[in-house]
Structures are given as structure tokens and as C-alpha cells.
Amino acid sequence: MTRAAVICGLGGWLPPRVVTNDDLPAGLGTSDQWIRTRTGITRRHRADPGSATSDLAVEAGARALASSGEPRADAVVLATTTPDRICPATAPEIATRLGLTGAAAFDMNAACTGFLYGLAAAAGLIATGAADRVLLIGAETYSCLLDPLDRGTAPIFGDGAGAVVLRAGTPEEPGAIGHIDLGSDGTGADLIAVGGGGSRQRMAGRPERDGERYLTMAGREVFKHAVGRMADSCRTVLKRAGQEPADVDRIVAHQANIRILHQLADELGVDRGRVVANIDRVGNTAAASVPLALFHGVADGAVRPGQRTLLTAFGAGLTWGSTLLTWPELAVATGE
């Protein structure tokens, strides 16, 4: 019998501190209206000083395990661009804090596409029999990478975590992960990047230059790539599944910009109302974006059991990915 990875639990967590557009530094030279018009964002959550990505991940992971009805997992996969440390990986500590000591645990960095790459990794662990249950978490504290006076990034990104539990099942079940499309293009590596802190800078034998500790983004180029790459990836997955865009009930895409979400729907020829959006209240949470959008979509009733649901993301690298599934019935706590 073919083993498939089936979503059986879902959880999300946002740090309590809310930063509205009006709370952003005056030195940004922007306004609430400017940010809303260009991004669709009205607020975002920021972790308090002393918090780390693992703290958010543990909260989301615990909620996903509770949603699944069982407190166990054979493997923990953390998708993140903001690990607690460069070394060691953050996932083993998360596993231990969740009572999963002994489980396989590793980090995955595919930036904002990390959750889709994580789904592929989890599906592979289950398909090969290496695990029967996998906890996949997307968690970020992007506030630690932001120049507070860079209006190209500071208003956009927020902190948060989302998680799913996947179990071994059959391809015909609701929640089974279907065809997965993944891709990358390293020629665009500098379009979204943090220049300092890695081996490139350290092996050059020089300290970080001004600004290298911060995330930089070429917004216009990223916008163009994001729409095109996600649309092509979605079409690839749908073709493999023998489906058309019109057959999709909900699209849960990386929450980068409301205009990107709208243009993606237009590119695929589907009504914009089919695209799930929570960017107005959380901003861009990178690898946490897709699972948080699913979490809020389920809590709000926008994502319902039986709906054919298309997941897609695009991020630094450049990376992108998509998959298709029928959304299952889940018990999800609605609190953030």
C-alpha cells in the first residue's frame, strides 16, 4: 500500500505584542495609508526582547499536536530563516521542549518557501517509513533582521509561527499531500538577502559592513518573480493532478503583499475571493506564512473540510513551491 503524508493537526501562534502602522518609527517617512495601499498590511506582531524563534515554534507546535489528538511525533522539521543560533540546529531543542526527546529533528532554510519544502521533506520521511508522524513548524522572528528605518522591509515583516502534524495514511484521504512542485534560481540570490554573518563574510576576514546584518530586498524585482514563479508552479501541480485552476476552491499562498495575492489570482484566472489572506493582521511572516494563513483560514471559516486547497509560496534563494490537497476535518483551537 502506498503511504501518503496526511495533515491531521494544525496550530498557530503570534507573539502578543502588536505593532500597528501608526506605531512604526516616524523616521520611515511613510504612513498608515501608504503601507495599506502598497502592501495591504495594517499591523504585525513582534516578539519581545529576549524571545527567540524556538519560543514561538514551541507554542505553535504544542497547539498542532493538541489538534492532532496525540502528543507524539517521530520527527520534527523546523522551517526557518531565523534560527536561534547558526549552530546547532534549533529543531532538536524544540523537540525536547515538546517532550519529543529522541525524535529526529532538523532545520530547513528555504526562506519564505520553507514550509512547502518542509512538506516535501515530511512526506518523504513518511513515504520511506522513516517516520509515521511528523511535526512540521514554520517559525520566524524576522524583527531581528530588520533595519527599523528601511521602509522597504520594516513595515512588511512580522514574527509568528504555524505548524502542522502529518501522519501516515493513504493518498485518497482528505488531508493527503498530493503532487509537490519545488524549484530554485540562484541567479536571484541577492534580491532578498542578509549579507553578513555567514561564511562568505567571515572567511573574507573582515567585520560586517554597515547594514550587512539587516535584510535587504529589491521589491519591484521580487514582486515580478513572485507572481510568475508561483503561478507557473501552481500550473505544474494542477497539471500533474489532472486539474484546472477553476477546480480549486481555495488558494493559500505566501502572504508577501496583497497585490501579489491579487495578481496571482488574476494570472491563474480565478476569482480573488478564493485566495485566503491574513496579511492585513500579521504581515509577511516568511516560513510561517502559509501555515499561519491556513490556521487563520480554518479559524475564520475561509478554509473548510472538503475544499480543494492549493498551497504555494515564493522566497529568497530564489525558491518556490506548490502542492494540492483536499482540506480535512480538524479540531483547531482558535486562540492566537
C-alpha cell at 281: 493582521
Choose the catalytic residue: 21, 45, 284, 296: 284
234 is catalytic: no
Spell out the residues 6+ positions from residue 48 whose beta carbon is closer than 8 angstroms to its own. Answer: 15, 16, 17
Running DSSP on this structure, what letter comes out for residue 48?
P
8 is catalytic: no
Q: Which phi and psi angles does 101 have, rounded to 5°?
A: -55, 135
Distance CA 231, CA 115 (A): 17
Count of beta carbons in the 10 Å neighbourhood of residue 13: 28
Paired residues of 288 in beta bridges: none
Choose the catalytic residue: 225, 254, 257, 296: 254
109 is catalytic: no
C-alpha distances in Å from residue 191, one per residue of 109, 139, 233, 303, 318: 16, 22, 20, 32, 8
Running DSSP on this structure, what letter comes out for residue 172?
T
Choose the catalytic residue: 21, 45, 109, 112: 112
* SS3 of residue 108 by DSSP: strand
Write out the E strands in 25-171: 43-45, 75-79, 104-108, 133-141, 159-169
> Under a CB-based contact definition with an 8 Å cutoff, are residues 6 and 177 in contact?
yes
* SS3 of residue 170 by DSSP: coil
C-alpha distances in Å from residue 63, one per residue of 109, 111, 112, 176, 329: 23, 23, 22, 20, 16
Residues with a catalytic annotation lie at: 112, 254, 284
